[in-house]
Structure 1
Amino acid sequence: MMSSRTCLYLTGVRRRSRFSLTPFRVRAMARTYASRAMDTLKTRTAGVGPMLVVCLDLEGVLMPEVWEEFADRTGIPELRRTTRDEPDYDKLMQYRLDILDDNDFTIDDITDVIGRMEPLDGAVEFLDHLRSKWQVIILSDTFSQFAGPLMDKLGRPALLCHTLEIDEDSRRIEGWTIRIDDQKRRTVEALRGLNYNVIAAGDSYNDTSMLSMANAGILLNPPSNVIDEFPQFPVTSDYAGLLAAIEAAASDMGE
């Protein structure tokens, strides 16, 4: 049991504390603690530079072209047309949907073909190696309805893509909704705005804007017309060459 003297002492301490913590003193203490916290943060992060993110296209880089596969399975060569041939994506998609309508194809016909597709030879090992060292994001103009089986076979990397509009009764593809205009370039731009270094790799026209926005852009097996139009990008022909180019670019960035 505490003595009356002890109780008076403790009571006095409490009273003095309440008396001393005026609004002015509280603000002063808050400024002091905030200043100390900022000094600690600056010390801990001194010398820490941007981290690296590798952005890859999907079709033609890690997986076969979905529309080319579907064209081969259906015997309709017109569907082999891709962004390698037509850089205007809206024009290309409308062209594809017109052919699907003319031939009474549904989303289920396409996903059946996609379910039997496999990654390009060496793609899984290449992607696993990259992911063991850096963050990897797949930036694709494919659609969420196509992507599920493809991502399962690649180990579920992060993917940003678009969405198809499907009539649930007829299962016909009625249209598409893009994530955002020029989403590949704008994603890279946003990453750089967050103080990340970005290396981007792709194979066709619709990749060139993100390659231009990245700290380093690399082409993998592009068609000759893309090589001729964009000579500023190094060209690789296999995963070994692409990996070497990515690692060299990362080394130049100090990553």
Structure 2
Amino acid sequence: MMPHPFAEQVEVAGSQRATMLAVCLDLEGILVPEVWVNVAKQTGIEALRRTTRDEPDYDRLMRYRLDILDENGITIDDITAVIEAMEPLEESVGFLDSLERRWPTLVLSDTFSQFARPIMDKLGNPTLLCHTLVIEDSGRISDWTIRLQDQKRRTVEALRAMNLEVIAVGDSYNDTSMLAAASAGILFRPPDNVVEEFPQYPVTQDYHGLAAAIDEAASALGE
């Protein structure tokens, strides 16, 4: 008999099996387009296309981004205008709604509350945990405040410490510690370099396939 695709990820003993499951999703690339890629398109600053798909060191990536914003005089108002024109990824709203009807669902993101605010209403205002920007009166983004180092992983660990099973979905380097901490991890439309470095996670390319993978993982976890 072939092993279940999620069998290697599921490590819950029968006598310790949790009675509740939660789903944790990354935001950008999973439910909405990449903010910085859209800012790059609208401003013509190609250097801003670099994301966590390319650079695993988030602090280095953010300092790089803020330096570029300073060099080009880009303010929070400019970025907010780009985000307000963005729409959720096609079919993502229905997918998210179906998840929330079945299980507690958290969006865990390394974005910032000021970036997320314009688009979260379009997603139905799901629960979002993210970071915060430091913005000067002039609108210049001078720094950022991390809610918690590696907050995606630590949120998943906290949920599991509460005896919940967790299915986590991500697409980038900065999601992989969250996937590793979860009861089951799934990649959604990841770049080839992430697939190659993390072959232990199933890969999905559309919401139908992602929903099926989540159902499969939930079944393996006893749901």
Q: TM-score, with normalisation over the residues of structure 2?
A: 0.92
State the alpha-carbon separation in 2 of the partners of residues 204 and 219 from structure 1: 8
Aligned match for 2:102, one of 127, 130, 133: 133
Task: Name 1:82's counterpart in structure 2.
Answer: 51
CA RMSD of aligned residues (A): 1.1
- How many residues are aligned here? 208
SS at match of 2:139: coil
Task: Name 1:148's counterpart in structure 2.
Answer: 117
Aligned match for 2:83, one of 114, 127, 133: 114
Deviations 1:167-226 (A, max 9, x none): 02x110000000000000000000000011000000000000000000000000101110
Gaps of 5+ in 1: 1-46
Structure 1 residues 214 and 48 mapped into 2: Cα distance closer, same or farther (>3 Å)?
Answer: closer
Pairwise CA distance, 1:48:
8.7
Structure 1 residues 189 and 49 mapped into 2: Cα distance closer, same or farther (>3 Å)?
Answer: closer
Task: Name 1:123's counterpart in structure 2.
Answer: 92
Task: Name 2:69's counterpart in structure 1.
Answer: 100
**Larger fraction in helix:** 1
Pairwise CA distance, 1:141:
0.3
Contact kept? 2:18, 2:165, Cα under 8 Å: no
Aligned match for 1:236, one of 201, 204, 208: 204
Gaps of 5+ in 2: 1-15
Contact kept? 2:111, 2:131, Cα under 8 Å: yes
- 1:156-235 → structure 2 map (5 Å cutoff): 156-168=125-137, 170-235=138-203
Which residue type is aligned with residue 206 of structure 2?
Answer: D
State the alpha-carbon separation in 1 of the partners of residues 148 and 183 from structure 2: 22
SS at match of 2:124: coil
Which residue type is aligned with residue 215 of structure 2?
Answer: E
State the alpha-carbon separation in 1 of the partners of residues 172 and 19 from structure 2: 28
State the alpha-carbon separation in 1 of the partners of residues 27 and 17 from structure 2: 31
Pairwise CA distance, 1:50:
2.6
Aligned match for 2:60, one of 88, 91, 110: 91
Larger radius of gyration: 1
State the alpha-carbon separation in 1 of the partners of residues 119 and 26 from structure 2: 13
Q: TM-score, with normalisation over the residues of structure 1?
A: 0.80
State the alpha-carbon separation in 2 of the partners of residues 221 and 229 from structure 1: 14
State the alpha-carbon separation in 1 of the partners of residues 214 and 46 from structure 2: 35
Contact kept? 2:169, 2:188, Cα under 8 Å: yes
